[in-house]
Amino acid sequence: MDENWLPTLKTDTPQEGYELAVKLSRMSIKFMQPDADVRSAMRLMYEYDTQALISASQTIAEHFQTIAAANDYWK
């Protein structure tokens, strides 16, 4: 894990904010399952598991809400 992987919640555009939300979602998995090989194996499975993908999309949506607020919705 990079030592400094989340310096700020500010992004230039909504799209970069969305990408950051995806990253924050993935970091949770890293915190709970530090073994990269295990994570790769799990990813191979859940990429084909509709329910897992949809559940993960809820996490992304929650993080995007936070990041959007942090950027005053890029108004």
Residues engaged in binding a second copy (CB under 8 A): 4-10, 13-15, 18, 22, 24-25, 27-29, 31-33, 38, 42, 45-66, 68-70, 73-75
**Residue 56, exposed/middle/buried by CB under 10 A (0-12, 13-18, 19+)?**
middle
Structure tokens at 3: 């030592």
Q: How far is the CB of 37 from a second copy (least distance, A)?
A: 12
Q: Which residue's CB is nearer to a second copy, number 18 or number 36?
A: 18
Helices 14-32, 50-70: axis angle to 10 degrees equals: 120
Q: How far is the CB of 24 from a second copy (least distance, A)?
A: 7
